[in-house]
Amino acid sequence: MSLKNTLLFMAACLLVQLSFGQLGSQKSDFWRRVNFGGGLGLGFTNGGFNASVSPSAIYNFNEQFATGVSLNFNYAKFNEDKLLAYGGSILSLYNPIPQIQLSAELEQLRINRTLQGFPDDIKDNYWSPALFLGLGYRTNNVTIGLRYDILYDDERSIYPNALLPFVRVYF
């Protein structure tokens, strides 16, 4: 399946699911426990551009535990080098106290990159896994923190290093 067809299929499934959730006048107990959120990124550098979108949803089992899924899409162009990464992740959250959030996230991205070289260009297409362990400070629906990729590979990862800051927002 092409990327376009895959994204179209996932969007249609989400719309169907949301439509069924609106059939009743009252939300079911399941939908009261679901929060939607995600992240947007946009970066500009001298000769470069990066954009990312990562919608996600979590299910809150109780005040301490939640789990969810996320879709990820990232496009970058630096001079003549190009990168397209897309995939998904599963996420688990634990709040030992309301202000502290521990997280584990397994991410799988399909990487398509073209690097300009001499004499030939280098084209790479591969899967890149990441397993992030995180610690964050939580206030209401926003968490700010750091996460560490224990599977980090500096030659294949799209991230600059294994330790990354994050901001999570769920509504």
Judged by average pLDDT, the poorest of 44-48, 80-84, 94-98, 107-111 is 44-48
Residues 1-10: contacts with CB within 8 Å, 24+ apart? 3/84, 3/86, 7/73, 7/86, 10/71
DSSP 3-state assignment of 30?
Answer: helix
pLDDT of residue 5: 61
Residue 26 scores a pLDDT above 70: no
Instruction: In whole angstroms, give the CA distance from residue 84 to residue 44.
Output: 16
Q: Which residues contact 161 (CB under 8 A, 6 or more apart)?
A: 152, 154
- Domain residues for the domain of 70 are 33-169
> Residue 53 — very low, low, confident or very high, per pLDDT cuts 50/70/90?
very high
How many distinct structural domains can be found in the chain? Answer: 2
> Any idea what the CATH number is for the domain that residue 122 is in?
2.40.160.20
Instruction: In whole angstroms, give the CA distance from residue 67 to residue 90.
Output: 7
Instruction: In whole angstroms, give the CA distance from residue 129 to residue 163.
Output: 15
The answer to whether residues 8 and 40 belong to one domain is no
pLDDT of residue 107: 96
Length, in residues, of the chain:
171
The answer to whether residues 71 and 134 belong to one domain is yes
The answer to whether residues 17 and 66 belong to one domain is no
Instruction: From residue 40, give the alpha-carbon distance in Å to each of 29, 74, 95, 96, 116.
Output: 29, 10, 24, 28, 27
> Residue 84 — very low, low, confident or very high, per pLDDT cuts 50/70/90?
very high
Closest CA to 67 of 29, 106, 99, 10: 106
The answer to whether residues 83 and 9 belong to one domain is no
